A and B are shown apart, each in its own frame.
Chain A
Amino acid sequence: MTSREVKDDKLIEGISANSGIAIGEVICVNSKRRKVLPKTISKSEVDHQIRYFKKGRDTLVKQLAQMVDFLDANSSAIIDTQKQIILDSEIEKRVTAIITEELLSCDFAVYRTFCDFIERLKESGSELFRQRIVDLENLRDRLIDVICNNENTLHIKRSTILVTEELSPTELVLLHEKGLSGLVIEKGGITSHAALIAQSLEIPCIVSAKNATHKATHGKGILDGRKGVLILNPSKELLDEYRKKHRKIKRTQKRLLKNISEPSITKSGTEFLLSANVEFESELASLQKYNATNIGLLRTEGLLFSGKTSFEEQTKFYKSVLAAVSGTVTFRLFDVGGDKLNAKLPEEPNPFLGWRGIRMLLDEEALL
């Protein structure tokens, strides 16, 4: 990605959505649609990755060629220029070099190569090329789109802190499984879906961090979830201080856990139920940790969004959920809400109270 000047102790501020401290590499995803993260590959994958790049390039050139047929001479000249850019020998040289020498995946190689050129155009300060920059960004995104159809990737290293404009719940879960340690989101509030999931996955998280993706730089960072700040390139002293705090929080958590392992009885002797909300398999591990014997709400839509819809996959999911608790599990039946799906559903005055959940399932008994 682009290199920018780095100032010490740079701060990104937002609203705390989940407390906790994360220390790790900051990765910034600063395109609206694009989430391209560096992913390391093994030497044996190099040829594959180069092939993916070339295949994607050819596909995009073909797409552009088809467009030319519908355009007047002036516009087709522009498309021609775009074709030239995609087939540019410098692009190929750099992309290949990044894949072969740095062992990074082709989508990221394309991303960084284009970003480097874009940055150089910006530096030139020429008004002439302002529009071209938009074009280049557009070409970059389209090329990556085409490549990602061949191979879908969203990869991070362990203990990464991600700075992004927005993030879908499913993406967050995937990232969590790969070891995401902290999350900074430009948009959304503390009740936005990603924030709620960050809470349940115990990922320190800041939301409403204005311009975060523009300010963030690559390098080490400290995310202070409670204060709602991300500190970029912290000094050594600050790092030490936060490492201490981090350990302290862990100790406190341990104490609380000890507390929680005691029987669920109030001081006056009344027993109460300790239940949990669960949506993803990866959350099940916390149940035992927090001594929750029941699941008060099991969301089942996550299956759909992660594409696990076959009978076997569903069975596996439900089995592991049931195995995780000794008490009861309350299922929420396939409740795909008004804001989550734009499939062929009939229009309703209030999709949030309409044909969903059990009402829909009783109509469509095959699904049940």
Chain B
Amino acid sequence: MIKKKITIKNTSGLHARPSATLVKTAGKFSSDFFIHMYGYKVNGKSILGVMTLAAEHGAELELEFDGDDEKDAMKTITELIDNKFGFADD
């Protein structure tokens, strides 16, 4: 199992569409993926889980990966969040 801290950079936070992209990307990996935020832990492969975090701009998350492809998964997800999910800032 590996963990990594990361900050949400989108100005409007982790709203529905970034959540959808995040969950979809996570679904490509076999590893389990959880997100910790302020004491909450949600399944990163569940869109409702991610949405209920209501992570706003600047929110600090801790990503947790566990499985055979955990390293790849962490790299891809980290890049996705750092690139603001490929959305131009709205």
A residues near B (Cβ < 8 Å) are 77-78, 80-81, 84-85, 88-91, 117, 120-121, 124-126, 128-129, 132, 135
Task: Note all chain B residues with C-beta closer than 8 A to A124.
Answer: 52-54
| Given known A-B contacts A81-B16, A89-B43, A90-B43, A128 and B48 have beta carbons under 8 A apart | no
Task: Note all chain B residues with C-beta closer than 8 A to A88.
Answer: 46-49
**How far, in angstroms, from A124 to B51 measured CA to CA in the complex?**
10
* A interface footprint on B16-55 (CB within 8 Å = 1, 0 otherwise): 1101100110000000000000000001011111011110
CB distance A129 to B51 under 8 Å? Answer: yes
16 further interface pairs, Cβ-Cβ under 8 Å (given A117-B48, A128-B56): A78-B17, A80-B20, A81-B16, A81-B20, A81-B47, A84-B47, A88-B46, A88-B49, A89-B45, A90-B46, A117-B52, A124-B52, A124-B54, A128-B13, A129-B16, A132-B51
10 A-B pairs closest in CB distance: A124-B54, A90-B46, A126-B54, A81-B20, A120-B52, A84-B47, A128-B15, A117-B48, A88-B46, A88-B48
**How far, in angstroms, from A128 to B20 measured CA to CA in the complex?**
15
**How far, in angstroms, from A235 to B52 measured CA to CA in the complex?**
36
Q: Total A-B pairs in contact (CB under 8 Å)?
A: 56
Determine if B83 is an interface residue (Cβ-Cβ < 8 Å).
no
30 A-B pairs with CB atoms under 8 Å apart are A77-B17, A77-B20, A81-B17, A81-B19, A81-B47, A84-B47, A85-B47, A85-B48, A88-B47, A88-B48, A89-B43, A89-B45, A89-B46, A90-B48, A91-B48, A117-B48, A117-B51, A120-B52, A121-B51, A121-B54, A124-B52, A124-B53, A124-B54, A126-B13, A126-B56, A128-B13, A128-B54, A129-B54, A132-B16, A135-B16
Task: Note all chain B residues with C-beta closer than 8 A to A89.
Answer: 43, 45-46
CB distance A90 to B15 under 8 Å? Answer: no
CB distance B52 to A121 under 8 Å? Answer: yes
**How far, in angstroms, from A135 to B53 measured CA to CA in the complex?**
17
Q: Count of chain B residues with Cβ under 8 Å from any Cβ of A? A: 20
Task: Note all chain B residues with C-beta closer than 8 A to A91.
Answer: 46, 48
Which of the residues A84, A120, A125 comes within 8 Å of B24, measured between beta carbons? A84
CB distance B15 to A129 under 8 Å? Answer: yes
Return B38 CB to nearest CB of chain A, in Å. Answer: 11
Return A315 CB to nearest CB of chain B, in Å. Answer: 52
Task: Note all chain A residues with C-beta closer than 8 A to B23.
Answer: 84
Task: Note all chain B residues with C-beta closer than 8 A to A80.
Answer: 20
**How far, in angstroms, from A122 to B46 measured CA to CA in the complex?**
18
**How far, in angstroms, from A129 to B47 measured CA to CA in the complex?**
13
Task: Note all chain A residues with C-beta closer than 8 A to B13.
Answer: 126, 128
**How far, in angstroms, from A90 to B19 measured CA to CA in the complex?**
14
**How far, in angstroms, from A126 to B12 measured CA to CA in the complex?**
11
Which residue of A has the minimal Cβ distance to B12? A128
Task: Note all chain A residues with C-beta closer than 8 A to B49.
Answer: 88, 90
Task: Note all chain B residues with C-beta closer than 8 A to A129.
Answer: 15-16, 51, 54
Return B28 CB to nearest CB of chain A, in Å. Answer: 13
